[in-house]
């Protein structure tokens, strides 16, 4: 005799329909996005107006720096933007949706016009578009193109303006946008904007892969003064830049790019793997050479993954720092101790003769004789501890802070010496807003 099931009778087809609907709802969006931003980077057709431009004298670009009040469509960046310059061009940073723009500069018509062109991006999303500005008044543009502007001037003179057009998506820019000089940038010499994973996480898609030479070289355009990079060792003992112990298509490409880095020689990696945006996986020395020779970055923070790696990395750090000193560069490589094992291995080498950073307790930093304390931002501002560190001559750099609310909280409540972030442009801008007294 068969008894009735002790459940509410539900037809099998109804159960299946229910299951398939739930599966569809749960799976389709996730499979579609693959967890990676799908950013379409924009460039002007046929090189835009800058195709026929001549480069702006490098001495002129720093004179474009300042805090500008936005108008027109540029108000999407917020009421104020920080205008930053590097040897590569000019950048605009706003705090509305963590927007930024990376612009190239060029002079037109015998140096009477100075044009800025490039892409803007919503960092918290995937929206991009094109921007074009001209520097006004024309007399200022001409002075900058001649190289006559005073590069030591912390910013443009009152009345100076960026006047131009803004575009969304694929559209050529045609919406009025502008910004007027409001004040100079606050000197950033004593504050560290450290860029996480060499400049930009692969998942954030700035157009370059994390832990690549290209990321390190472009970090300054995003406002970084330093970079943090991750170091792994190949089987034949070569330190390379890579975050994870194991290869995956999250960070690399290549049919045979799988397995553990520690099980493969550099030759296998270079023959089988490219980073997500096509770059070669760099060795540590290649990356440090690039940071030293191709940028004005002040520091590189090595995230040491294993205690066994410490002696080799200390040796490389010592050598690179000696080269920087010989070149007269204000540039230092720091050994980062993120774990007790790495810390113990570092301390066991004796009093440090290379700069070091400890992510453990402040007492550990003091005991090791290191210069920088790197606490997690989730521990909170810890104002008293940060003040105690400052009194002991130790700089505090929180990691890894991306949200504006946390950036502001740390900058106002504990006044750290710097922040490690995936959004250096936002940290740069918020530091300017808060220290500059704009908020």
Close Cβ partners of 207 (under 8 Å, ≥ 6 residues apart):
39, 41, 200, 277
Measured from the CB atom, the residue of 171 and 265 that comes closer to another protein is: 265
> Binding to another protein by residue 38, rule CB under 8 A?
no
> Binding to another protein by residue 15, rule CB under 8 A?
yes
> Binding to another protein by residue 17, rule CB under 8 A?
no
User: Which window, 176-184, 241-249, 374-382, 394-402, contacts another protein (CB under 8 A)?
Assistant: 241-249
Q: Are 194 and 100 in contact (CB under 8 A)?
A: no
Contact pattern for another protein over residues 255 through 274, marking x by CB under 8 A:
xxxxxx--xxx-xx-xxxxx
> Binding to another protein by residue 187, rule CB under 8 A?
no
User: Which window, 91-99, 188-196, 246-254, 404-412, contacts another protein (CB under 8 A)?
Assistant: 246-254
CA separation for the pair 156, 111 (Å, rounded): 18
How many of the chain's residues bind another protein (CB under 8 A)?
47
> Binding to another protein by residue 238, rule CB under 8 A?
no
Minimum distance from CB of 312 to another protein (Å)? 20
Minimum distance from CB of 211 to another protein (Å)? 14
Minimum distance from CB of 21 to another protein (Å)? 10
> Binding to another protein by residue 188, rule CB under 8 A?
no
> Binding to another protein by residue 235, rule CB under 8 A?
yes
By CB under 8 A, what part of segment 194-233 binds another protein? none
**Choice from 6, 326, 379, 391 touching another protein (CB under 8 A):** 6
> Binding to another protein by residue 3, rule CB under 8 A?
yes
> Binding to another protein by residue 72, rule CB under 8 A?
no
**Choice from 109, 246, 340, 439 touching another protein (CB under 8 A):** 246
**Choice from 151, 184, 253, 339 touching another protein (CB under 8 A):** 253
> Binding to another protein by residue 29, rule CB under 8 A?
yes
User: Which window, 24-32, 52-60, 216-224, 411-419, contacts another protein (CB under 8 A)?
Assistant: 24-32
Measured from the CB atom, the residue of 38 and 139 that comes closer to another protein is: 38
**Choice from 16, 54, 87, 322 touching another protein (CB under 8 A):** 16
> Binding to another protein by residue 326, rule CB under 8 A?
no
Measured from the CB atom, the residue of 16 and 54 that comes closer to another protein is: 16
Three-state SS for the chain is CCCCCCCCCCCHHHHHHHHHHHHHHHHHHHHHHCCCCCCCCCCCHHHHHHHHCECCCCCCHHHHCEEEEEEEHHHHHCCEEEEEEECCEEEEECCHHHEEEEEEEEEECCCCEEEEEEEEEECCCCCEEEEEEEEECHHHHHHHHHCCCCCCCCCCCCCCEEEEEECCCCCCCCEEEEEEEEECCCCCCCCEEEEHHHHCCHHHCCCCCCCCHHHHHHHHHHCCCEEEEEEEECCCCCEEECCCCEECCCCEECCCCCEEHHHCCHHHHHHHCEECCCCCCCEHHHHHHHHHHHCCCCEEEEEECCHHHHHHHHHHHHHHHHHHHHHCCCCEEEEEECCHHHHHHHHHCCCCCCCEEECCCHHHHHHHCCCEECCEHHHCCCHHHHHHHHHCCCEEEEECCCCHHHHHHHHHHCCCCEEEECCHHHHHHHHHHHHCCCC
Residues forming contacts to another protein in the complex (CB under 8 A) are: 2-7, 10, 12, 15-16, 18-19, 22-23, 26-27, 29-31, 34-35, 235, 246-250, 252-260, 263-265, 267-268, 270-274, 280
């Amino acid at each position: 005799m068969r008894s009735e099931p002790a459940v509410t009778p539900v037809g099998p087809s109804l159960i299946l329909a229910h299951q398939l609907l739930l599966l569809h709802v749960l799976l389709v969006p996730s499979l579609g996005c693959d967890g990676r931003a799908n950013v379409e980077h924009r460039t002007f057709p046929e090189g835009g107006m800058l195709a026929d431009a001549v480069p702006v004298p490098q001495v002129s670009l720093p004179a474009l720096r300042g805090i500008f009040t936005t108008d027109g469509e540029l108000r999407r960046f917020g009421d104020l933007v920080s205008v930053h310059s590097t040897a590569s061009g000019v950048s605009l940073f706003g705090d509305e949706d963590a927007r930024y723009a990376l612009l190239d500069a060029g002079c037109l018509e015998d140096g009477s016009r100075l044009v800025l062109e490039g892409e803007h991006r919503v960092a918290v999303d995937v929206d991009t578009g094109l921007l074009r500005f001209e520097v006004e008044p024309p007399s200022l543009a001409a002075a900058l193109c001649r190289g006559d502007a005073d590069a030591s001037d912390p910013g443009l003179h009152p009345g100076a303006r960026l006047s131009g057009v803004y575009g969304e998506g694929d559209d050529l820019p045609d919406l009025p946008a502008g910004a007027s000089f409001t004040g100079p940038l606050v000197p950033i010499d004593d504050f560290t904007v450290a860029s996480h994973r060499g400049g930009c996480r692969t998942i954030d898609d700035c157009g370059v892969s994390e832990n690549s030479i290209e990321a390190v070289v472009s970090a300054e355009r995003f406002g970084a003064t330093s970079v943090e990079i991750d170091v792994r060792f190949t089987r034949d003992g070569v330190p390379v830049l890579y975050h994870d112990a194991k290869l995956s298509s999250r960070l690399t490409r290549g049919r045979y790019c799988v397995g553990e880095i520690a099980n493969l020689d550099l030759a296998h990696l270079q023959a089988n793997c490219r980073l997500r945006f096509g770059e070669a996986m760099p060795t540590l020395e290649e990356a440090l050479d690039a940071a030293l020779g191709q940028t004005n970055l002040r520091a590189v923070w090595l995230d040491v993954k294993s205690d066994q790696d410490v002696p080799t990395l200390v040796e490389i750090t010592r050598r690179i720092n000696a080269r920087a000193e010989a070149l007269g560069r204000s540039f230092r490589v720091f050994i980062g101790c993120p774990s007790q094992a790495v810390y113990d291995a570092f301390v066991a080498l004796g009093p440090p003769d290379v700069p070091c950073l400890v992510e453990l307790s402040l007492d550990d930093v003091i005991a090791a004789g290191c210069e920088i304390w790197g606490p997690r931002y989730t521990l909170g501002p810890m104002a008293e501890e940060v003040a105690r560190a400052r009194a002991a001559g130790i700089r505090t750099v929180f990691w890894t802070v991306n949200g504006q609310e946390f950036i502001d909280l740390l900058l106002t409540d504990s006044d750290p010496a710097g922040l490690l972030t995936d959004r250096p442009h936002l940290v740069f801008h918020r530091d300017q807003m808060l220290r500059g007294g704009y908020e």
